[in-house]
Amino acid sequence: MTVIAVLGAGKIGEALLAGLLQGGRSAEELLFTERHPERSAELTARYGVAGVEVTEAAKRADVLVVAVKPQDIEPVLAELAPLVGPNSLVVSLCAGLPTSLYERRLPDGVPVVRVMPNTPMVVGEAMSAVSPGKHATADHVALVTEMLATVGQVVEVPEAQQDAVTALSGSGPAYFFYLVEAMIDAGILLGLPRAVAEKLIIQSAVGAAKMLAETNEHPVILREAVTSPAGTTINAIRELEKHGVRAALLAAIEAARDRSVELGKAHE
Ligand SMILES: NC(=O)c1ccc[n+]([C@@H]2O[C@H](COP(=O)([O-])OP(=O)(O)OC[C@H]3O[C@@H](n4cnc5c(N)ncnc54)[C@H](OP(=O)(O)O)[C@@H]3O)[C@@H](O)[C@H]2O)c1
């Protein structure tokens, strides 16, 4: 039995616990740590999983999933350091923290896998990118991939690409929320009631996302299929091009990547 402990069962940690249970793991195979006793009791009542101290989690679990905020990492590493060894596996979900930080603070040989997930994990639709640290093997990556597949899709990337991943899929949901918000405003401008505009756009987003995911067609092909000669869509596309929306997206995502690089430098 592989025991998995989630250290910091906040939004992401709780979503992973729920996914692991749904994916077939029993409550006995799982542990979590939380700072607030009320939150801990609430999670145990909801999932039947035991809440323990970080030290106990480190002693009992084979896999330690770190899901605290990046700024809370230091005390967690200090508690883990005397208790983990090469037979443990540390999985970091913390945005921007390199595997080298864990490798420096933990005993030599502890395998670390870094993951960049995103918020749709709370509805089982995360996009997660995994990168092995210097002591992690293909088996470690396979185990982490299988764990994360219970809450969405998973890809493996070299750690050097994690800043690009952060900018693309880490922040990605925010770009879609922003677009949806702007399109709802457009509906208001055209005189639609807010509730109707919201429903029209959210369902269009869900439908478009499902078509992208399920038809395997390139987005250009899907867009061309609704862009008829002298029709309405091409008039909208002309405005999007005129206002530089494509260039704005390229620049925005590049700026997010640059900020991720900058934040990462603090941990070198
Ligand atoms: N949310 C996202 O979109 C997203 C995307 C990618 C990656 N991530 C990463 O996922 C991690 C978790 O994010 P989140 O949004 O789930 O944050 P969150 O809701 O704040 O969850 C973190 C949890 O860890 C607890 N915690 C902090 N220090 C602890 C300790 N020493 N022992 C036990 N529990 C401790 C916190 O308790 P308190 O309430 O007491 O602080 C909180 O419940 C972050 O590192 C973030 O970078 C998040």
Q: Residue 247's domain is classified under what CATH number? A: 1.10.3730.10
Strand ranges of the sheet holding 112-116, from the earlier edge strand across to the other edge: 50-51, 30-33, 4-7, 63-66, 89-92, 112-116, 126-132, 152-156
Q: Record the pTM.
A: 0.94
Residues 251 and 148 grouped into a single domain: no
Same domain, 98 and 42: yes
List ligand 1's pocket residues with C-beta within 6 A: 7-8, 10-13, 33-36, 54, 67-70, 72, 75-76, 93-95, 116-119, 170
Domain closes at, from 159, 180, 198: 159
Give the position, in ligand 1's atom list, of the atom nearest the Cα of 70: 45
DSSP category for residue 220: H
User: Tell me, what amino acid is at 29?
Assistant: E
CATH number of the domain within which 25 lies: 3.40.50.720
At 131, which amino acid appears? S
Calculate the CA 2 to chain-centre distance: 23
Are 81 and 176 in the same domain?
Answer: no
Instruction: Identify whether residues 8 and 46 lie together within a single domain.
Output: yes
In a domain, residue 238? The reply is yes
Dist CA 254 CA 260 (whole Å): 10
Backbone angles phi and psi of 77, in degrees to 5: -65, -40
Residue at which a domain ends, from 159, 189, 222: 159
| Token pair for 152 | 């969405």
Q: Are residues 139 and 206 in the same domain?
A: no
CA 51 to chain centre: 23
Pick from 249, 248, 223, 217: which is nearest to 236 by CA? 223
Q: Give the Å distance between the CA of 190 and the centre of ligand 1.
A: 41
Classify strands 126-132 and 4-7 as parallel, antiparallel or unpaired: unpaired
| Cα of 213 from ligand 1 centre, angstroms | 29
CA of 236 relative to ligand 1 center, distance in Å:
41
> What is the atom index within ligand 1 of the atom nearest the CA of 8?
24
Residue-range definition of the domain harbouring residue 202: 172-263
List of residues 6+ apart from 169 with CB closer than 8 A: 116, 118, 127, 129
Contact 92, 102 (CB under 8 A): yes
Same domain for 34 and 138? yes
Quick check: is 164 in a domain? no
Q: How many domains does the chain have?
A: 2
Q: Report the alpha-carbon distance of residue 28 to residue 3 in Å, rounded.
A: 8
Residue 101 maps to a domain? yes
Dist. CA 191 → ligand 1 center (Å) = 41
| pLDDT digits (tens), the chain, 268 positions | 899 999 999 999 999 999 999 999 999 999 999 999 999 999 999 999 999 999 999 999 999 999 999 999 999 999 999 999 999 999 999 999 999 999 999 999 999 999 999 999 999 999 999 999 999 999 999 999 999 999 999 999 999 999 999 999 999 999 999 999 999 999 999 999 999 999 999 999 999 999 999 999 999 999 999 999 999 999 999 999 999 999 999 999 999 999 999 988 887 7
